[in-house]
Amino acid sequence: MKHGLIRPPLEYGSGFPTLLRKEVLRFYKVGFQTVAAPVLTAVLYLMIFGHVLEGREVYGRLSYTAFLIPGLVMMSVLQNAFANTSSSIIQSKVTGNLVFVLLAPLSHLEFYAAYILAAVFRGVVVGLGVFLITAWYGLPSIENPLWILIFAFLGAAILGSLGLIAGIWADKYDQLAAFQNFIIMPATMLSGVFYSIHSLPPAWQAVSHFNPFFYMIDGFRYGFFGVSDISPWNSLAIVTCFFIAVSVIALRLLQKGYKLRY
C-alpha cells in the first residue's frame, strides 16, 4: 500500500439511495420466488374463479373475469409489498446482518423511505406482471390511470409499512407468519378482491367497511371501470389516513429503535 490508511475527509451524501438499491437487488436476485411465483399464483386464481363463475356479471355490465383482474392485480401488489419489508427485516434480524445498516449514519426517515419504496417497487412489478399475463384473458378497460397509480402506490406503501412493523415486532419467523396469515391474508381476501360488497348480506357489507383493504381495492378498481362500491374520494381519504397512521407507527418504532437498538 502506497499511502497511509487515513485519508483526507470524504464527501458524504445520504445512505438512502444505497439502502434502496440494496433492498431492490435483494428481491431481484431471487426473482423466481419474489416475482414469478406470485404472478403464477394470481393467474391460477383467475383461471379457477374465472372458470367457475363464468357467465356472472358485476355492476350490471362487467364480466366476472374483467371484474376480477384489477382485484387480483391489487391483491398481488399488497401482498408482495408486505412480503418485501417483512421478510427483509426478519431475515436481517435473525441472521444479524441488520447491524451493518444500524451502524451507518442513516436516520429513521432514510431507513423508512428506502424500505417502503423498495416494497412499492416490488409490489408494482408483481402487479404489472399479473396485469400483463391476465390481460390475455381480456384486457380490462382503463378509465382513469391516475386513480390506479395513486391507489397502487398508497396500498403498497401501507402494506410495506405494515411489513416493516411486523418484521420489527416479530422475533421469529413463526410470529411473522402469524401476522401474515391471521391479519394480512384474511383482510386482503375479504376486501372485495373476488366480489363486490353489494353482493354480500347487509351485515357483512357493514363489516367490510371496517376493513381498510376494501377501500384500496375498491379505489384501485374504480381507475379501471369508473365504477366502484363507494366514492373513490371517500376511499382515497380513508386510505390516506391509514397510510399516515401506519407510517407514523413505523417511523416511531424506528426512531425509538424498538427491538432494533436496545
Partner 1 sequence: MHPAISIKNISKHYGALQALDDVSLTIEPGEFFGLLGPNGAGKTTLISILAGLVTPNQGHAAIMGADVQKSFREARRMLGVVPQELVFDPFFTVRETLRFQSGYFGIRNNDAWIDEIMAYLDLTGKADSNMRSLSGGMKRRVLVAQALVHRPPVIILDEPTAGVDVELRQSLWQFISRLNQDGHTIVLTTHYLEEAEALCQRIAMLKQGKIVALDSTKNLLARYGSVKKDGEGKTDLEEVFVNIMSGGAL
Residues that bind partner 1 (CB under 8 A): 1, 4-7, 10-15, 17-19, 21-22, 25-26, 29-30, 92, 95-97, 99-107, 257, 261-262
Query: What's the rounded Cα separation, in Å, for the pair 188 and 159?
Result: 10
Could you tell me where the beta strands, DSSP code E, fall in the chain? 57-58, 62-63
Nearer to partner 1, 10 or 146 (CB): 10
Q: How far is the CB of 180 from partner 1 (least distance, A)?
A: 21
Query: What's the rounded Cα separation, in Å, for the pair 125 and 191?
Result: 21
Nearer to partner 1, 106 or 176 (CB): 106
Cell of 197: 360488497
Q: How far is the CB of 10 from partner 1 (least distance, A)?
A: 5
Q: How far is the CB of 39 from partner 1 (least distance, A)?
A: 21
DSSP characters over 5-68: S--SPPPP--SHHHHHHHHHHHHHTTHIIIIIHHHHHHHHHHHHHHHHTTT-EETTTEEHHHHH
Q: Round to the nearest angstrom and report the end-to-end CA distance of the chain.
A: 39
Cell of 119: 416494497
Nearer to partner 1, 97 or 234 (CB): 97
Nearer to partner 1, 14 or 211 (CB): 14
Q: How far is the CB of 34 from partner 1 (least distance, A)?
A: 11
Nearer to partner 1, 94 or 230 (CB): 94
If residue 256 lies in a helix (H) or strand (E), which one and from where to where? Answer: helix 232-256
Q: How far is the CB of 134 from partner 1 (least distance, A)?
A: 30
